[in-house]
Amino acid sequence: MKPRRATALVALVAAFHLRAGEPKKATTPAPPPAIRVTLLGTGNPRPSMTRFGPSILVEAGTKRILVDAGRGATQRLFSLGDGMLSGIDLVLLTHLHSDHVVGLPDLWLTGWIFGREKPLLVRGPEGTAAMMSHLKAAYAFDIGIRRDVDERFPAAGIEVDAVDLQSGASFELDGVKVTAFAVDHGVVKPAYGYRIDYAGRSVVFSGDTRPSRALVENARGVDVLVHEVIVPSVEMMRSAVADATKIRSIIDHHTTPEDAGKIFAEVKPRLAVYSHIVPSPAAEKDLVGPTRKTYSGPLAVGYDLMSISIGEKITVEKRAVSVE
């Protein structure tokens, strides 16, 4: 998906309308998408400027949900405009690998400075509640100063409501249904994928996983499937500088494009999207060619700020940034 081409097309359509000089007709605006998914970061542990750490914003109804909070999630949310950073209702963690959570203290603390007045809801696998209580201890100085001494920000805004979920757990938040399911991230247990359903539309996030039957079962009939991917040939290039055995073990914890294609072919989503792309330098050609050996349906290679609107139609565009 080439965002520049889409922009050019929109400009062309606008120009045609101007030349035609037609009087403006009262048209019913298209209904807003039931779910909007924005890839805030499509990378991995590598501190890349083009692919930030894994984090995805889901807007459904009145709710804003973040799936993982990797490096840079705070900057990306803030760049989307007023109230986005402080307005996160729920954070879902797929697993506690640092690349998925290292941005969470930033989001939690800075979101409070920028206006959050209610506790941050955090849900994830076993260990989530303990991690959040340790973060409260780690940042006790800042919390105390800003809450009780200096700015006197609302006390509720820095509270955390953190719960460890069991695999298969499902709950609703103002009509937005969230289901957690265990995936297969090798020895990294527990690791979850999530399904979000709202107003008859749905999206599934694989989290980090090898090919997983549980993911296929939970993703049946889904509109959009966002899946992680690793390109072994590109990842192995690092063996010149890193231990090849360790690289092979990393590859074994993830899903190759060929295997992801088999999953897409079975699930048949209306759109399959790659995010959490390993390694970061893997290019579109490294991903699409091998996927096409096993899957011929709709596919998009994710990039930071790719926004997917899920409604009657599914549209993909680069989300505009309003604050630099």
CB of 190 to Zn ion, least distance (A): 12
Give yes or no for residue 319 binding Zn ion (CB under 5 A).
no
184 counts as binding Zn ion under rule CB under 5 A:
no
Residue for token pair 């609302």: 154
Rg of the chain in Å (alpha carbons): 20
User: How far apart are the C-alpha atoms of 107 and 88, rounded to whole Å?
Assistant: 9
Q: Which conformational region is residue 226 in: left (phi greater than 0), alpha (psi within -120 to 50 degrees), or beta? A: beta
Tell me how far apart the alpha carbons of residues 122 and 49 are, in angstroms, rounded to a whole number.
Answer: 27
Q: Which stretch binds Zn ion (CB under 5 A): 90-98, 106-114, 235-243, 310-318?
A: 90-98
Q: How many residues bind Zn ion (CB under 5 A)?
A: 3
Whether 99 sits among the annotated catalytic residues: the reply is yes
Q: Which is nearer to Zn ion, 36 or 276 (CB)?
A: 276
Name the β-bridge partners of 92.
67, 123
SS3 73: helix
The one among 36, 63, 71, 97 contacting Zn ion by CB under 5 A? 97
Q: Which is nearer to Zn ion, 10 or 242 (CB)?
A: 242
Distance separating alpha carbons of residues 214 and 236, to the nearest angstrom: 28
Part in contact with Zn ion (CB under 5 A); list of ranges 126-134, 161-169, 204-212, 219-227: 204-212
Q: Which stretch binds Zn ion (CB under 5 A): 95-103, 127-135, 217-225, 304-312?
A: 95-103
Is residue 244 left, alpha or beta, with left meaning phi > 0 and alpha meaning psi from -120 to 50? alpha
Closest CB to Zn ion among residues 116, 185 = 185
Report the site for Zn ion in 26-55 (rule: CB under 5 A).
none
Choice among 68, 82, 89, 99 that is catalytic: 99
C-alpha pair distances (Å), 99 with each of 55, 59, 71 = 9, 22, 7
Stretch that binds Zn ion, among 15-23, 94-102, 239-247, 305-313 (CB under 5 A): 94-102
- Kindly tell me which of 74 and 255 has the beta carbon lying closer to Zn ion: 255
Distance (Å, whole) CA 66 – CA 1: 23
- Does residue number 208 form part of the binding site for Zn ion (CB under 5 A)? yes
Among the residues of the chain, which ranges form H helices?
3-20, 73-79, 98-101, 104-113, 128-138, 140-144, 213-219, 232-235, 244-252, 257-267, 284-292
In the bound state with Zn ion, the residue whose beta carbon lies nearer, of 44 and 86, is 44
- Nearest approach, Cβ of 226 to Zn ion (angstroms)? 13
The answer to whether 286 contacts Zn ion (rule: CB under 5 A) is no
Q: Is 99 in the site for Zn ion (CB under 5 A)?
A: yes
As annotated, the active-site residues are 99
Residues forming contacts to Zn ion in the complex (CB under 5 A) are 97, 99, 208
